[in-house]
Amino acid sequence: MSSSTKDRILDAAECLFAQHGFEGTSLRAVTSEADVNLASVNYHFGNKIGLFQAIFERRVGHINDARLEQLDRLQSRGLPPSLEELLEAFVGPALRLTSREGEGFESFMRLVGRMSTVSGQHAEVIRDVFRDVQERFFPAFMQALPHLSAPEVFWRLHFLIGSMCSYLADPCRLELISQGHCRSDDPEESLRQLVAFAAGALRGPSALPHPTTPASKESHP
Amino acid sequence: MSSSTKDRILDAAECLFAQHGFEGTSLRAVTSEADVNLASVNYHFGNKIGLFQAIFERRVGHINDARLEQLDRLQSRGLPPSLEELLEAFVGPALRLTSREGEGFESFMRLVGRMSTVSGQHAEVIRDVFRDVQERFFPAFMQALPHLSAPEVFWRLHFLIGSMCSYLADPCRLELISQGHCRSDDPEESLRQLVAFAAGALRGPSALPHPTTPASKESHP
DNA sequence: CATCGGATCAAACGGTCGTATGAAACGGCC
DNA sequence: GGCCGTTTCATACGACCGTTTGATCCGATG
């Protein structure tokens, strides 16, 4: 047997969840793809959402560790990290592990991207799992972007995560809509494009020169 | 009767699809919410995916018309439109109609954002529906960004759409992760932040000085 | 060998799903 | 009133859903 039942279920499930979504994937499809008995899912993971959670627990450590390790390395030097270095540490592992760890990780990242737009309990699972990364990176970005206020940094990081997740959700879509102008099979090229995009986005001037009273005007012109 | 059966189904469906996704929403939930008979869906829309398509056909005309009309106005002047003007015309209607046309449109935009990360036939429905807008805006962006190659403009517009859709999918998430630092109830503020983000992102320097050949074949300083 | 606990199995449970059907209600028109 | 096309209705169909059950396998332990 090449791998354990548990792992085969996880592999099949993360692939199918990424393709068809959580509700769009039946446990029968998972166990059939994994070539295990239907009841194994409930035996090993309790229920369907337990399986969903286990998928994240298996993968998310690697990517978060890689991010934080890279951030540690940057911060252990004397001078504060540059914006590009921070971006590399934040989005690099997400894009690179995709190709280094085999197609399993690719499916997982597609799943992350896909689940980034849902709400409800699935969204909470994901938010919880990335919370500590966010809390470590946010102050670092704040320091690297002294021209932006805290809310503005939040806004832009939020948009940045949206860009990244949209790309992760389906890297091939760019090839489609660009009618072949863009290739998406090279993670280094993707990373370069995303970092360039994000660096410009974060470095751009503040949207409000003087963020005074938020509710100043009530008039309708 | 306040509105037709057809419209009541569409209203309920776009709200529920936005909340729970396509597979996560049953036709029984839709017809129950709309207070109509279950069989009405199949009578008026053929089947479930026909209903999905009808949701888009009802709304997407408004937003695309608003975008193209704004683009026409910009292009009918003598000088070519600025980057900020283009961005306003592209993302403005998507964000603004949300609040002007009532909560129906807000649900619809959430649905668009949510569906932006799926693949399969639903994705095709959405791509088809936004294709002409893309084909009108892309050359305009190309002209406004002479420092970028065509593939790079594709990359960045793709990332930009990801940012926008991520925001549309759940405007409240930003409030959550920023722990109240950011408000998401003012579409004008959101638009300002998104345009500032996107303008910086698109104006940023090219990622590759010579992006024509992907491999290291041809070096040309 | 016997035993025992974890792992796997086929089979079934009660529900819910999307869809189909045929009858009833409705409204304009002769 | 009588007719007819459109819309609404209650109901049913077969399929599939997530979950549970109890029997069976199997390797480690004594």
Tell me the per-residue pLDDT of B165-188, one tens digit each, with 9 for 90 and over: 999 998 888 888 888 889 888 888
**Superfamily per CATH, domain A5-203:** Tetracycline Repressor, domain 2 (1.10.357.10)
How far from B46 is each of A69, B127, B215, CA to CA, in Å?
Answer: 54, 22, 50
pLDDT in tens, A151-191: 999 999 999 999 999 999 988 888 888 888 898 888 889 99
pLDDT in tens, B15-52: 999 999 999 999 999 999 999 999 999 999 999 999 99
CA quadruple A10, A11, A16, A21: dihedral, nearest 10: 50
DSSP class of residue B117? T
Query: B59-203 in CATH: which number?
Result: 1.10.357.10
Rounded distance between C-alpha atoms, residue A145 and residue B36, angstroms: 54
> What is the predicted pLDDT for the residue at A94?
87
Rounded distance between C-alpha atoms, residue A207 and residue A187, angstroms: 32
> What is the predicted pLDDT for the residue at A127?
86
Coil, strand or helix at B91: helix
Does residue B125 or residue B37 have the better pLDDT? B37
Chain A 42-61 contacts with nucleic strand C (CB below 7 A):
43-44
> What is the predicted pLDDT for the residue at B97?
80
Question: What is the least distance, in Å, from the CA of A111 to any CA of chain B?
Answer: 9
CB A47 within 7 Å, strand D: yes
Residue A1 confidence class, pLDDT cut points 50, 70, 90: very low
Picking from B22, B117, B195, the nearest residue to A169 by CB comes out as B117
Q: Nucleotides on strand D with an atom closer than 7 A to protein CB? A: 7-12, 16-22
**Do B141 and B159 contact (CB within 8 A), yes or no?**
no
The domain ranges of chain B are 59-203
Q: Is A147 on the interface with B (CB under 8 A)?
A: no
Asked whether the predicted pLDDT for residue A99 surpasses 80, the reply is no
How far from B181 is each of A118, A151, A152, A172, B12, CA to CA, in Å?
Answer: 22, 5, 9, 35, 32
CB A54 within 7 Å, strand D: no
Amino acid at B206: S
Q: Which residue of A has its CA nearest to B214?
A: A189
CB A29 within 7 Å, strand D: yes
Cβ atoms < 10 Å from Cβ of A24: 17
**Do A55 and A111 contact (CB within 8 A), yes or no?**
yes
CB B206 within 7 Å, strand D: no
Best of A16, A163, A206 to disrupt the B interface by mutation (most B CBs within 10 Å)? Answer: A163
B residues 43-102 near A, CB within 8 Å? none
Average pLDDT over residues A99-116: 84
pLDDT in tens, A59-89: 999 999 999 999 999 999 989 999 999 999 9
Best of A110, A115, A129, A159 to disrupt the B interface by mutation (most B CBs within 10 Å)? Answer: A159
Picking from B113, B183, B200, the nearest residue to A203 by CB comes out as B200
Q: Which two tokens stand for residue B4?
A: 């037709």
pLDDT in tens, A14-30: 999 999 999 999 999 99
Residue B216 confidence class, pLDDT cut points 50, 70, 90: very low
Q: What is the mean pLDDT of chain B?
A: 88
